[in-house]
């Protein structure tokens, strides 16, 4: 990261009505970073708006920001009147599909992201990119900006940012957890975030339909390459039988990541629009972001994904072959 924190502050201070957006199917980090930044902008006297492409995820309603999030509509006044665009937790057109054209013609843009995979976003005169692939979460970058600029962090902000930080780090179990991450987490707890309450809100309020969906996923678990590759599948019939929705798939892949001897786990999830969502996890050596990029996606070395159009069986065959080749390269 080469952008000084003061440059971020200066860029934001020149705006009045910034529009905050994040990727499709927003997770805890996307929402936590957006909420933490939006609250800071209000403290600066601005009127930020947060736009989402889908309904607000039920599991994050405890953050208390659902009422501040609006459905994306290019014709809406809050979009047309925005004097800046802030993109959080992504720098990829594939994750910003509904507003890809808008991004290319948007007002001055700030990108805050921690993914290595990126498109040509935020490179115009007047734009600013705060991109740090080493950072464990976008919420970490927002937290560090607040701390570096000595800005107050309210309990509400701290709760949102710790939610983002903890969920993207697997509650500090994943390999992206480092001293930098834990220092930020400590500061957020000192600012009033309650880690145990956040954990309970995110992970101990699951609908029964999600557990039924997980059961169907695990029932079809397949091990390949002498148990080193775990393949999971969720077909449209599984969602129907479980009474589950597509937004209930967040984190379900982690149920199989803990299997002994598994290096890579891949989940194929059929979407209603003929697309197959591919989620990838790696334990130690294989760079699954490389695999995701082969299919127009991206992410991190240990966690990545893509949306692939095609018949499910054909997509599975292509992805599995690519994963096995990547595993062989990284042996």
pLDDT digit string (tens) for 198-224?
999 999 999 999 999 999 999 999 999
Give CATH 3.10.310.30 domain extents, the chain: 209-329
Q: How far apart are the first and last CA of the chain?
A: 30
pLDDT band at 244 (very low <50, low <70, confident <90, very high): very high
Mean pLDDT (whole number) for 288-310: 91
Which tens digit of pLDDT belongs to each residue from 182-203? 999 999 999 999 999 999 999 9
Mean pLDDT (whole number) for 160-186: 95
Q: How far apart are CA 44 and CA 243, in angstroms?
A: 44
- What string of DSSP letters covers 143-181? HHHHHHTT----HHHHHHHHHHHHHHTTTTTSTT--HHH
| Residue 88: predicted pLDDT | 97
| Residue 247: predicted pLDDT | 86
We find that the CATH architecture of domain 5-203 is Alpha-Beta Complex (3.90)
Cβ distance 110 to 85 under 8 Å? yes
* Residue 98 pLDDT greater than 90, yes or no: no
Q: How far apart are CA 137 and CA 328, in angstroms?
A: 29
Which tens digit of pLDDT belongs to each residue from 12-24? 999 999 999 999 8
Q: How far apart are CA 175 and CA 127, in angstroms?
A: 32
| Residue 95: predicted pLDDT | 82
Q: How far apart are CA 1 and CA 140, in angstroms?
A: 13
Which tens digit of pLDDT belongs to each residue from 47-97? 999 999 988 998 999 998 898 899 999 889 999 999 999 999 998 888 888
Q: What are phi and psi of 324, to 5 degrees?
A: -60, -40
Give CATH 3.90.1640.10 domain extents, the chain: 5-203
Contacts for 244 with CB less than 8 Å, ≥ 6 apart = 207, 209, 210, 212, 213, 238
| Residue 101: predicted pLDDT | 81
Residue located via tokens 């290019």:
74
* Residue 31 pLDDT greater than 70, yes or no: yes
| Residue 309: predicted pLDDT | 94
Which tens digit of pLDDT belongs to each residue from 103-147? 888 899 999 999 877 788 877 888 899 999 999 999 999 999 999
| Residue 2: predicted pLDDT | 66
Least confident of 14-28, 92-106, 154-168: 92-106
| Residue 158: predicted pLDDT | 98
Q: How far apart are CA 155 and CA 189, in angstroms?
A: 9
Q: Which two tokens mark 63?
A: 């953050």
Q: With pLDDT > 70 as the criterion, what percentage of the chain qualifies? A: 99
Structure-model confidence comparison of residues 126 and 270, the more confident one: 270
Q: How far apart are CA 46 and CA 17, in angstroms?
A: 6
| Residue 172: predicted pLDDT | 93
Structure-model confidence comparison of residues 121 and 281, the more confident one: 281
Mean of per-residue pLDDT scores for the chain: 93
Class at the top of the CATH hierarchy for domain 209-329: alpha beta
Strand, coil or helix: what is 263?
A: coil
Cβ distance 231 to 222 under 8 Å? yes
């Amino acid at each position: 990261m080469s952008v000084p924190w003061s440059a971020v502050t200066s860029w934001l201070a020149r705006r009045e009505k910034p529009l905050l957006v994040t990727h499709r199917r927003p997770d805890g980090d996307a929402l936590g970073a957006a909420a933490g930044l939006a609250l800071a902008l209000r403290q600066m006297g601005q009127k930020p708006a947060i736009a989402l492409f889908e309904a607000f995820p039920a599991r994050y309603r405890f953050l208390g920001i659902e009422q501040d999030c609006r459905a994306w509509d290019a014709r809406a006044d809050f979009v047309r009147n925005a004097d800046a665009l802030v993109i959080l937790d992504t720098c990829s057109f594939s994750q910003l599909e509904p507003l890809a054209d808008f991004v290319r013609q948007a007002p001055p843009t700030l990108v805050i992201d921690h993914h290595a995979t990126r498109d040509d976003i935020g490179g115009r005169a007047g734009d600013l990119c705060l991109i740090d692939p080493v950072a464990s979460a976008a919420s970490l970058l927002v937290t560090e900006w607040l701390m570096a600029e000595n800005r107050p962090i309210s309990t509400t902000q701290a709760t949102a940012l710790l939610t983002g930080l903890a969920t993207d780090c697997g509650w500090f179990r994943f390999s992206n957890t480092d001293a930098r991450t834990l220092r930020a987490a400590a500061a957020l707890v000192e600012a009033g975030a309650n880690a145990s309450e956040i954990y309970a809100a995110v992970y101990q309020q699951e609908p029964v339909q999600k557990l039924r969906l997980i059961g169907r996923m695990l029932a079809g678990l397949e091990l390949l390459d002498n148990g080193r590759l775990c393949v999971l599948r969720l077909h449209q019939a599984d969602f129907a039988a479980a009474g589950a929705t597509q937004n209930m798939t967040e984190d379900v892949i982690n149920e199989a990541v803990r299997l002994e001897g598994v290096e890579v786990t891949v989940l194929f999830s059929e979407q209603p629009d003929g697309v197959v969502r591919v989620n990838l996890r790696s334990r130690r050596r294989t760079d699954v972001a490389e695999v995701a990029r082969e299919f127009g996606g991206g992410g991190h070395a240990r966690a990545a994904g893509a949306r692939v159009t095609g018949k499910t069986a054909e997509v599975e065959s292509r992805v599995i072959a690519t994963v096995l080749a990547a595993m062989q390269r990284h042996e």
